[in-house]
Structure 1
């Protein structure tokens, strides 16, 4: 049996970064990935990178087939680079196959023709998440129904795209395919669109989508899905809808089902997420879990920060933990993108904070005029007493870059006046933060 100081299951952001770090300090490392199409992890192969490449090309109104080819080229380049970043290290073994625990020190790898067993002093689980499929008749057997991975592998653009689920993934794909020229319909089971956002922000997003021709159906009860004359038929109480392709965008769950975690004494919650302490250690002392598999925020940058915590635990002072994370921002790469950090107005009111809310229409920003995209709004919530920024929502071009400036100011505990009086380049979207925070009285 091959012996390792570290076995890492999954080639995601935390796993691959930890593998390289440990190897460069002299550890003997094995990293297991069940598919050679997933070297580099979800983000590079089926998540952030391919979708944002497609979003970019859709904004430029590139041909769909050409955009798909460029996406494939970008993914292939990064996948190969990520593979060689580890495989070319002398003391790293990259092993392809499906991992399952025999005990808390032994992992069996199921390969195409046989199985091998590895022994590890320490084991790190970084298996990510997988799509959740609602219990709808015909959903898993009907041709033309895809998860996000399948939709990204189409060679021909669907004229009519249905999206089952109106969350952030659904919104990104709706905006992208509408930009490519598809007629898009979102079927959302909830009575409210994007319930995690303030109503004015959610309404602004809905209006932008509707202006692209996207139809949003709330309280949508899809009872069954079937195939009819090459179309996908959605049966609903009020009648049938037909589309050329249906995207299931109803969320993702931790990918733990086949790991045989019970053999290693690793506990999971009722959603299948691995239970960890603030240092990301599981119920088995020598096993850690990182990234989406822990059931937390499903962002690549959280997985990267998980790596930092584990690195400090193994090689540093052991002080870093998940409680250190402040003001985690996120972006939804629709066109224009939505980015947010901190509290919404609704959350701030519920907290009882004395506060001021200010908004700035994007149409008032010179750079937005230059870029010919004046859609959206900037919104900030400020504590009236402490002058601290409680939260910001940005629905505008380049918001995914601007939000990081705001996070840095919030993390540093600086008052809103820092951004009100900061010197920014002109014309730029970031200088609009001068104007937004000048509205605070």
Structure 2
């Protein structure tokens, strides 16, 4: 059994960044990745980048087939670049294979050619990500029409009729994309209302824009069965009155979340604890219940974003080589973005949450139609909402539903982290025409003053 200073299981964002950092500090690193199609991790191969590429292509009027081809070229290039980033380092070995724990610090790796290699790691970092969750619906898991989020981006042709199970953020992104390509999209969701976390005015505007784009919604449904009829999927569901309704589709996309990828690790051979959802339990420093074993990224549960995985790397780097000051609990201001048209970005409190908590706030609100750049972009849908603490003039939350929201939300985040009063954004000199210059007008007067 070979002993390695650092073993990283999984080639995701946090793990690959950590591998490069450790190698450049003269430490030996073994990176184990079970799929050559996942060099670089989930984000560049099956999530953030390819999905956003397709969303942008759809908005630009590119055909679905050409968009998928372009996406495949991009991901192949990124995959190779990420592989070379690690494989070119003298201190890094990239090993294709599936890792199984045989003890707290020992693993066996089954390689594609049938070999089984044994290693002991002085440090082990688990970075195996998450996999799509398929709901327990009769006939769904074995349906020839079933797609998960990865399959959906690799179709040979565009589905004419697409049913999406799940009206969360992932489901909405795919609905927006496929509808823009020309599919007839229906979203089925068991909740009585969509976007429950968002303020009602924002949620209603988002849903109406989807409906205007031809997307149909069926909410508060209970899906009874998936079957095949006339070479199509037959989806039977009920609403509150238990009256059965059957709709038909060429494909069914399950957009019902992702679960941590721990099943194949054989963690029962260790003292590493997992929670009820299979996520690895970690402390504020990302340490597992076994000393010198850490979990990075989606596998530990919590927000599933590549930028969280990157920040996980920063926490571990600080622990091993820095001042040991960074903590998971320090991540109080984390932005999110849903890549629909227009984009929906959020950070901090919504107005709904502020009211629930009994917080006093100044509300600044502005329609996208009042912004010159929105007219230039030919999309005046949406609005800006920002909440400010009246005692400190500090921003406590923002919801931006507008083109380029994914960019300007970061200005809000920076102001919040730096504890800058909202007047700094109000009085800033911006380039023109830009979406960001809307802050000049947005922050003039609160609507609830």
> Paired residue for 1:319?
325
SS of residue paired to 2:341: coil
Alignment partner of 1:149 is 2:150: yes
Match of 2:316 among 300, 304, 310: 310
**Aligned residue number for residue 158 of structure 1:** 159
Q: Which residue of 2 is the match for residue 54 of structure 1?
A: 54
Check if 1:347 corresponds to 2:353: yes
Instruction: Please state whether the residue corresponding to 2:381 is helix, strand or coil.
Output: coil
**In structure 2, what is the equivalent of residue 410 of structure 1?**
416
SS in structure 2 at match of 1:78? helix
- Aligned residue for 1:152, secondary structure, equals helix
Structure 1 distance, partners of 2:386, 2:442, is 8
Instruction: State the partner residue of 2:241.
Output: none
Q: Deviations over 1:83-130 (max 9, x none)?
A: 010011111110111111111111111223121111110000011111
Q: CA RMSD in A?
A: 0.9
Which whole-Å CA distance do the structure 1 matches of 2:322 and 2:102 have between them? Answer: 30
Which residue is 1:196 aligned to?
197
How far did residue 347 of structure 1 move? 1.0
Alignment partner, residue 234 of structure 1:
235
Report the counterpart of residue 294 of structure 1 in structure 2: 300
Deviations 1:206-253, CA, capped at 9 Å, x for gaps: 011011000111112111111222211101132211011110000111
Shift of 1:381: 1.3
Residue matched to 2:5: 5
Counterpart in the other structure of 1:16: 16
* 1:253 equivalent in structure 2: 259
Local SS of the residue matching 1:424: coil
Aligned partner of 2:27 in structure 1 is 27
Question: Normalization by structure 2: what TM-score?
Answer: 0.97
Question: Structure 2 matches for 1:275-286, cutoff 5 A?
Answer: 275-286=281-292
Deviations 1:255-312 (A, max 9, x none): 1111111322100111111111100000001100010111111000000000000011
Partner of 2:184: 183
- Preserved contact between residue 254 and residue 272 of structure 1 (Cα < 8 Å): yes
Which residue number corresponds to residue 110 of structure 1? 110
5+ unaligned residues in a row in structure 1: which ranges? none
Q: Which residue of 2 aligns with 1:383?
A: 389
Matching of residue 274 in structure 1 with residue 280 in structure 2:
yes
Of 357, 360, 377, the match for 1:371: 377
Report the secondary structure of 1:223's partner residue.
strand
Structure 2 unaligned spans of 5+: 239-243
Match of 1:100 in 2: 100
In the TM superposition, residue 62 of structure 1 has moved relative to its aligned partner by: 0.4
- For residues 406-428 of structure 1, the C-alpha deviation after alignment (integer angstroms, 9 at most, x for no partner) is 00000111111111111111110
How much does 1:144 deviate?
Answer: 1.3
Distance across 2 between alignment mates of 1:109 and 1:227: 40
Moved over 2 A (4+): none
- The answer as to 2:438 corresponding to 1:432 is yes
Match of 2:362 among 353, 356, 366: 356
Q: What is the distance in 2 between the residues matched to 1:139 and 1:12? A: 29
TM-score, normalised by the number of residues in structure 1: 0.99
